[in-house]
Amino acid sequence: MDPCRWPLHTAPDLSRVVQAFANIPHSRLLGLRLDEIRHGSAAMSVPYDERLIGNPNTRVLHSGVVTALLDTLCGLVVMSAVPDGTPLATLDLRIDYLRPAAPDETICAWAECYKVTNSIAFARGSAFHRTRDDAIAHCTGTFMLGGAGFTTDPSKAPAGPGAAGGIAETGGQPC
């Protein structure tokens, strides 16, 4: 499915999206890896890490790790599918945990941005160990475009740290 319906020259430079991902402090804390990215879809993974255990009985990673993985991934696929530098903010994220993740195994994820309108983008994805047809979790996310939020283009963001007051308070988490 190709959500790209604008002139090709406005498609984002994926190297900037990759760079933006590399600079996210929380992604580094969790050890998120961006394995593949195209315009409108991407793959990401997080290696097993005992520090991130959520259930001491089962040694399964905390659901928040999967939430952060899918939130980051859905944000990136939207960023890769909208015109270069468009700011975006997460409006909502719905996750179904289909089965427990296995301890000691890397969690992979894949997502696509399947619809872009003037102000909203829709993404969906899943988390799994080895194959996408044996999913651990499914997710759908909705993102607000424009206004304030995360952007790969510094000239379109509020100026520098401490300028967070420039974010429009119309809702959403600048992802």
State phi, psi for 149 to the nearest 5 degrees. 145, -165
Nearer to other proteins, 9 or 155 (CB): 155
Helix (H) / strand (E) containing 55: strand 53-55
- Position 26 contacts other proteins (CB under 8 A): yes
Residues 129-158, one symbol each (x = binds other proteins by CB under 8 A, - = not), give -------------------xxxx--x--xx
Nearer to other proteins, 59 or 115 (CB): 59
Using CB under 8 A, which of 3, 37, 71, 113 touches other proteins?
A: 71
SS3 15: helix
Tell me the C-alpha distance between 60 and 49, whole Å: 10
Tell me the C-alpha distance between 12 and 103, whole Å: 37
Q: How far is the CB of 3 from other proteins (least distance, A)?
A: 21
- The piece of 48-56, 78-86, 115-123, 125-133 that touches other proteins (CB under 8 A) is 48-56
Question: CB of 15 within 8 A of CB of 23?
Answer: no
Using CB under 8 A, which of 67, 102, 106, 122 touches other proteins?
A: 67
Q: Token pair for residue 9? A: 């020259």
